Amino acid sequence: LTQDALTHSSPPLPVALLWQRGWPSAAQPFWSRIGDIAGVPRDDFAADFWSGRKDRCKQACRALADLLFAAGRGEEALSALMLAADPAEPQSFEIVLPQLAYAIELFWEWPTARVSRPHALQRLGVWWRAARGDFEEDDSSIFWITRLEMLDQDDPSDGLPPARELTKSEQEDEPEEPGIVVMPKDKATKLNNFQFEFKGLVDARLPLVRALDISAVRTQLLAEYPHAATAIGLVLRDLRQGEPVRLRPLLLTGPAGTGKSRLVRRLGDLLGIGVYRYDGSGASDSMFAGSPKGWGNTVPSAPARAVNQMRIANPILLIDEIEKAGTSSRNGRLWDALLPFLERETAGRYRDVSLDAELDLSWVLHIATANSIENLPDPLKDRYRVVRVPLPQLVDLPQLAANVLQELAVEAGEQGLTWPLAGDELEVIGRAWEKAGLSIRQLQKIVAATVEARNVTAVRH
């Protein structure tokens, strides 16, 4: 079992890529997956990776593959080589297909309910033809070619986006994925040296991540957060299959330890959207709205930083513990600074004082968490949809304990930890958990202690 199979119930990334409808939509989940890997400075490659120029892009993918292999992340590295595979250059498939075919057939384990091995191999058939040179004259990406080729086949893979009818023009060109220009050049002054990392944003068309496979996202979130079923339902209700992800500003509230922030992270993972976290408790207002250009050390607004880091127009901006920003008058201004970003019209033409440019930040997804909302000012509360995440209950224990156990095993890199908890162990855990207040953080501690005790006993015997 690879680590991936343990942490996700979805297929390994390279398999998931076989179903993407074009290069940009394959690039998105890859890009968000490699955001947090030590030794892989992803953002150094952003300009080339998203340049839209085949050669620069292939070079970036190959350089990323080398770094990812060096970091021990072979699945992501193979995904990078898949993104560099070019039908016009059949040899580029030779370093992808042997390992991909072998791994799909005999190596990777994944629950095959949604994506079965035969269906993955069926799609891979198109890649084999590309390796043989069948599409040498074609200028499209292998992802787009695969999609067109599979339209002719009976592909009953459940849960995956149904094929649309193609119009004539679509048959000739790979259509552009949805996207917008966040920073139009004609509404910006010249950037100074402090903002060189934002240069790539000028006039760049950034992708809008679309909601694919909403029902699978729902199933997965419900399995991980059985106690938050209502909240999950409300959040996902805004999404439309196949359309860019857009949510009204959302405020998750509930006692500490219900897993609110982690729920947001998982939502981002499953939708293939990067999450930019902003700590409400340590907040200073100038950092959120940005500081004016002309200051020595100027900082663009947090939503602009999120867009620039994720290279998508609709990243999730998570403000953690937003209620804590109210404890000093200085920090209190975070709340005022936030208001313009929460209205679509004002966020759509926000004048960033640091970049001295007008930005379209209307697609940024605003999610905040708060342990309580009593002290939040009304104007702010009015702009959020407030959703309660309750504490788990004892009936959620078996499922939550299993999740926690799995996380521990992955962290430790040990298979031995994944022994299921015995009935009596679960009972002991349940009693201790109830006493400790039924928070997920407490459950993590208790399960860890149980496993620890179990390992000590095992060594003695």
Partner 1 sequence: MSLAQAYLDRLLKLDVESYFNGRSPSALALKEAPVLESWWADIVCELKSDPPHLAGEIALLGHVTDHPKHADGQLIRTAALAWLDRHGKWARTRDGLYRLGHRSNAAESPR
Q: How far is the CB of 113 from partner 1 (least distance, A)?
A: 16
Q: How far is the CB of 133 from partner 1 (least distance, A)?
A: 7
State the Cα–Cα distance between residues 350 and 341, nearest whole angstrom. Answer: 8
Q: How far is the CB of 372 from partner 1 (least distance, A)?
A: 45
- Region for residue 133 given its phi and psi (left: phi exceeds 0; alpha: psi -120 to 50; beta: otherwise): left
State the Cα–Cα distance between residues 236 and 212, nearest whole angstrom. Answer: 12
Site for partner 1 in 55-74 (CB under 8 A): 62, 65, 68-74
Site for partner 1 in 255-284 (CB under 8 A): none
Output 127 or 144, the one with its CB closest to partner 1: 127
Output 108 or 335, the one with its CB closest to partner 1: 108
Q: Does 77 engage in binding with partner 1 (CB under 8 A)?
A: yes
Among 133, 184, 255, 332, binds partner 1 (CB under 8 A): 133
Q: Does 419 engage in binding with partner 1 (CB under 8 A)?
A: no
Both tokens of 134, joined, read 């069948």
Q: How far is the CB of 114 from partner 1 (least distance, A)?
A: 16
Interface stretch with partner 1, choices 122-130, 255-263, 271-279, 385-393 (CB under 8 A): 122-130
Output 93 or 198, the one with its CB closest to partner 1: 93
State the Cα–Cα distance between residues 359 and 357, nearest whole angstrom. Answer: 6
State the amino acid at position 340 in one-letter form.
P
Output 2 or 439, the one with its CB closest to partner 1: 2
Q: Does 33 engage in binding with partner 1 (CB under 8 A)?
A: no
Q: How far is the CB of 146 from partner 1 (least distance, A)?
A: 12
Closest to 34 measured CA to CA, from 67, 2, 82: 67
- Looking only at the bridges linking them, the beta strands covering 350-352 and 357-359 are antiparallel
Q: Does 75 engage in binding with partner 1 (CB under 8 A)?
A: yes
Q: How far is the CB of 417 from partner 1 (least distance, A)?
A: 19
Output 145 or 214, the one with its CB closest to partner 1: 145
Among 7, 41, 53, 91, binds partner 1 (CB under 8 A): 91
SS3 84: helix
Q: Does 101 engage in binding with partner 1 (CB under 8 A)?
A: yes
State the Cα–Cα distance between residues 347 and 8, nearest whole angstrom. Answer: 35
Long-range CB pairs of 414-418 (<8 Å, 24+ gap) are 415/1, 417/451, 418/6
Q: How far is the CB of 49 from partner 1 (least distance, A)?
A: 18
422-446 in b/e form (b: 16+ CB < 10 A) is eeebbeebbebbeeeebbbebbbeb
State the Cα–Cα distance between residues 19 and 38, nearest whole angstrom. Answer: 28
Among 34, 57, 81, 365, binds partner 1 (CB under 8 A): 81
State the amino acid at position 285 in one-letter form.
D
Is residue 46 within 8 Å of 196, Cβ to Cβ?
A: no
Output 65 or 252, the one with its CB closest to partner 1: 65
Query: Virtual CA dihedral for 265, 270, 272, 276, nearest 10 degrees?
Result: -10
DSSP 20-40: -SSHHHHHHHHHHHGGG-TT-
Both tokens of 293, joined, read 């250009």
Q: How far is the CB of 326 from partner 1 (least distance, A)?
A: 47
Q: How far is the CB of 336 from partner 1 (least distance, A)?
A: 48
Output 76 or 174, the one with its CB closest to partner 1: 76
Interface stretch with partner 1, choices 96-104, 176-184, 300-308, 327-335 (CB under 8 A): 96-104
How many helices (H) and strands (E) the chain has is answered by 21, 9
Site for partner 1 in 142-181 (CB under 8 A): 153-155
Q: Does 2 engage in binding with partner 1 (CB under 8 A)?
A: yes
DSSP 189-210: ----GGGGGGGGGBT-EEEPPB
State the Cα–Cα distance between residues 93 and 81, nearest whole angstrom. Answer: 9
Interface stretch with partner 1, choices 126-134, 213-221, 386-394, 396-404 (CB under 8 A): 126-134
Q: Does 122 engage in binding with partner 1 (CB under 8 A)?
A: yes
Output 95 or 234, the one with its CB closest to partner 1: 95
Residues that bind partner 1 (CB under 8 A): 2, 62, 65, 68-75, 77-78, 81, 91, 94-95, 97-99, 101-103, 106-107, 118-119, 121-122, 124-126, 128-129, 131-133, 153-155
